[in-house]
Amino acid sequence: MNDIIAAARTLLFVPGHRPDRFDKAAGSGADLVVLDLEDAVAPDQKDTAREHARTWLAAGNRAVVRINPAGTPWHDQDLTAVSGLATALMVPKAECADQIGAVAARAPRAGIIPLIETAAGVTRAVAVCSAAAVVRPAFGSVDLAAQLGIDHRSHEALRHARSALVLATAAAGCGAPIDGVTTALDDEAALQADLDHAATLGFTGKLCVHPRQVEQANTAFTPSDDELRWAQRVLAAGADGAVASLDGQMIDRPVLLRAEAIVRQAQR
């Protein structure tokens, strides 16, 4: 199951108090559905949302669940309700490995997706991503921007944080990160700009907040035909393991690894 989480290009949020949307989200083409018990649910609806999520998962459906943070009145109940049912748990405000360990101890069969959305989380991202249960992190761009007093839509303002998270996943040896949401629901150009920026920096997935974002995001994180042909030619040129050349460019071990990664992405 962790392989599915690691390879997911799109994770579509659906509010936990809207069970009428669960099946629609599952049929949207998103690689994973995220049943949200946190930000999308008002305090007086938390218990209802939790029960809707538990019931849907118990019926055999697969989803990630974003639980409420530790220290809130709902955290322990969330874990009790879904820990044996969720494909993975998304942990908000992840800032240290101990947080991840405490959740993992309650949900030993679920992968963990830490949501890095605070300054402390970014500066400690290597430690967070190194926790044993972590499959890959997600980037909470909107919350981080609010803490920093900057525009969450600005690529430049959040470039350092995004790059720090990409570096942290590589250093920790976990899956590449999932980029934060695009809040412009009807602006395909804005979504594409966000996708291109995230992919350039090394992200391999996207948090989506509307089904109409899914297809575009899936395409952005799937190698194009040209990229796949290039990768196959590189692997053929370097098949004997020696340094080679292709179209006037040197082919050595790092280039071969990049080509292998592209082929793996295309096979998802």
CATH number at residue 163: 3.20.20.60
pLDDT band at 96 (very low <50, low <70, confident <90, very high): very high
Domain match, 108 and 69 both? yes
Domain match, 183 and 255 both? no
Please name the residues in contact with 209: beta carbons below 8 A apart, sequence gap of 6 or more.
12, 13, 181, 182, 183, 185
Number of domains in the chain: 2
Domain match, 73 and 204 both? yes
Q: What value does the mean pLDDT of the chain take? A: 93
Domain match, 211 and 235 both? no
Lowest mean pLDDT among 50-59, 134-143, 166-175, 224-233: 224-233
pLDDT value for 227: 72
Percentage of residues in the chain having pLDDT higher than 90:
82
- Bridge partner residues of 15 (DSSP): 36
Q: Is 3 annotated as a binding residue?
A: no
Domain match, 178 and 238 both? no
Q: If 0-12 CB within 10 Å is exposed, 13-18 middle and 19+ buried, where does residue 96 land?
A: middle
Q: Is the pLDDT of residue 200 over 70?
A: yes
Taking the CA of residue 68 as centre, how many other CA atoms within 13 Å lie in the half-sphere pointing to its CB? 22
Q: 66: part of which helix (H) or strand (E)?
A: strand 64-66
Q: Is 143 annotated as a binding residue?
A: yes
Contact 12, 25 (CB under 8 A): yes
Q: Is 66 annotated as a binding residue?
A: yes
Count the neighbouring beta carbons within 10 Å of the beta carbon of residue 108. 9
Alpha-carbon span 219 to 3, nearest angstrom: 20
Q: Locate all alpha helices (DSSP H) within 173-244, ordered by sequence.
A: 188-201, 214-220, 225-237
pLDDT value for 225: 66
Q: If 0-12 CB within 10 Å is exposed, 13-18 middle and 19+ buried, where does residue 66 land?
A: buried
Domain match, 150 and 235 both? no
pLDDT value for 49: 98
Domain match, 251 and 187 both? no
Domain match, 189 and 259 both? no
Selected residue with higher pLDDT from 241 and 40: 40
Domain match, 232 and 101 both? no
Please name the residues in contact with 162: beta carbons below 8 A apart, sequence gap of 6 or more.
139, 141, 179, 198, 201, 203
Domain match, 139 and 232 both? no
Please state the rounded mean pLDDT for residues 84-96. Answer: 97
What is the DSSP pairing of strand 88-91 with strand 10-15? Answer: unpaired
Domain match, 109 and 178 both? yes
Contact 85, 50 (CB under 8 A): no
DSSP string, 125-164: HHHHHHSTTB---EE-HHHHHHHHTS-TT-HHHHHHHHHH
Could you report the per-residue pLDDT of 100-143, keeping only the tens digit for each? 999 999 999 999 999 999 999 999 999 999 999 999 999 999 99
Name the one residue in this structure whose structure tokens are 């669940």: 65
pLDDT band at 262 (very low <50, low <70, confident <90, very high): confident
Could you report the per-residue pLDDT of 14-34, keeping only the tens digit for each? 999 999 999 999 999 999 999
Vertex 252 angle, CA 260 and 177, to 5°: 40
Domain match, 116 and 213 both? yes
Q: Is the pLDDT of residue 242 over 70?
A: no
Residue-number span of the structural domain to which 70 is assigned = 2-220
